[in-house]
């Protein structure tokens, strides 16, 4: 990880939901996040460290209620870790720059990758391309 933040710093900058999701590996309820249905062109950044993570061109409608992408901006921009909580085996996705929990990746996405990065809106901020 390149960037580290103190708990106090994060509590001042983030909402309680953003902190819970990014620092305590929480999950927002489906169809409630700010970006699950966003169709604007732009870039989705990590809410904690502002690293560009996902381009709108890689976003697709998965029907799951969370923003879904078929690939991150770069292979090394997110980190994958095995997650065996809640009696399931999933792959957790965190920001490779600061370690913030983003969501999970599944192998039921569209071409060209076949992957579905299922990401919490609260872990993201959106920067519009303005067109």
Q: Could you list the active site residues?
A: 118
| CA 76 to chain CA mean position, Å | 14
* Tokens standing for residue 78: 């997110």
CB 62 within 8 A of CB 109: yes
Q: What is the spatial distance between Cα 76 and Cα 114, in angstroms, rounded to a whole number?
A: 18
Q: Which of left, alpha, beta for 50 (phi over 0: left; psi -120 to 50: alpha)?
A: left
Q: What is the spatial distance between Cα 65 and Cα 39, in angstroms, rounded to a whole number?
A: 14
């Amino acid at each position: 990880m390149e960037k580290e933040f103190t708990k106090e710093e994060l509590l001042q900058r983030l909402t309680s939901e953003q902190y819970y999701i990014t620092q305590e590996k929480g999950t927002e309820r489906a169809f409630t996040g700010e970006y699950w249905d966003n169709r604007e062109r732009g870039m989705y950044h990590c809410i904690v460290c502002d690293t560009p993570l996902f381009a709108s061109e890689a976003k697709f409608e998965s029907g799951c209620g969370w923003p879904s992408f078929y690939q991150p901006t770069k292979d090394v921009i997110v980190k994958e870790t095995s997650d065996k909580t809640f009696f399931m085996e999933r792959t957790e996705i965190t920001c490779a720059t600061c370690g913030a929990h983003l969501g999970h990746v599944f192998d039921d996405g569209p071409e060209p990758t076949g992957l579905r990065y299922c990401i919490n809106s609260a872990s993201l901020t959106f920067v519009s391309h303005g067109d």
